[in-house]
């Protein structure tokens, strides 16, 4: 049985606006972020989905504001661990650690922040979840999660090795739609589905 899967990136926080990497830091949505999520519109079919959320506040708040019911908090959907680089900006890290940062980014799926997690390790914790969902009998599943997790799913679905541009983005106010087929095969159906019908005034 094919499972339709929608992965929603949480709403914006102050750290998002400042360009800082949040990782496991439990940063809540800010006022404008809450206002923005309140204007998001999910596809009608996703309203009957079984929903899961990362345990971090910015994800659970997003689920609550979207009016999702009976959401299961799942630790496997937590953001990639950025270790000692949490609270830093990517631009700042590239300026301070030029050669080291270039070499690390050139590792693709093996990119590892000091004391943190690689994208491949994120995929490893997602695979058992995908197996569970594939065998659950659910026709549709939704996830409220994070950019790093969604990028790991996109890499699984497309074979992207995280070297060079993927050809798709994970912008705020967006969702990625996948199909989960037999043998846990993940297929990208709709990248960067916009959720915002109007701007937050």
- Residue 10 designated active-site: yes
Catalytic residue (choose from 36, 61, 79, 117): 79
Among residues 39, 33, 44, which one has the least CA distance to residue 10?
33
Q: How far apart are CA 73 and CA 144, in angstroms?
A: 9
Q: What is the 3-state secondary structure (H, E, C) of 43-74?
A: CHHHHHCEEEECCCHHHHHHHHHCCCCCCEEC
Buried b (16+ CB within 10 A) or exposed e, 141-156: bbbbbbbbbbbbbbbb
Catalytic residue (choose from 10, 36, 61, 146): 10
Q: How far apart are CA 20 and CA 15, in angstroms?
A: 5
Among residues 115, 8, 1, 4, which one has the least CA distance to residue 53?
8
Length of the chain counted residue by residue: 201
Distance of CA 7 to the CA centre of its chain: 7
- Residue 70 designated active-site: no
- Give the tokens for residue 183: 């043998």
| Number of CB atoms found within 10 A of residue 6's CB | 22
Catalytic residues: 10, 79
């Amino acid at each position: 049985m094919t499972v339709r899967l929608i992965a929603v990136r949480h709403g914006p926080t102050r750290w998002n606006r400042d360009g800082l990497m949040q990782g496991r830091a439990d940063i809540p949505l800010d006022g404008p972020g809450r206002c923005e999520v309140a204007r998001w519109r999910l596809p009608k079919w996703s309203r009957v989905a079984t929903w899961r959320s990362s345990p971090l506040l910015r994800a659970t708040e997003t689920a609550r504001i979207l009016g999702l019911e009976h959401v299961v908090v799942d630790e496997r959907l937590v953001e990639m661990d950025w270790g000692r680089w949490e609270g830093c900006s990517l631009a700042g890290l590239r300026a301070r650690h030029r050669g080291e940062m270039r070499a690390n980014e050139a590792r693709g799926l093996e990119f590892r922040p000091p004391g943190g997690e690689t994208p491949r390790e994120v995929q490893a914790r997602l695979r058992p979840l995908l197996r569970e969902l594939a065998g659950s009998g659910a026709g549709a599943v939704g996830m409220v999660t994070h950019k790093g997790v969604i990028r790991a799913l996109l890499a699984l679905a497309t074979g992207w090795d995280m070297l060079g541009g993927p050809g798709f983005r994970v912008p705020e106010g967006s969702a990625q739609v996948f199909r989960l087929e037999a043998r846990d095969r993940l297929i990208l159906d709709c990248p960067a589905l916009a959720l915002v019908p109007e701007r937050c005034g």
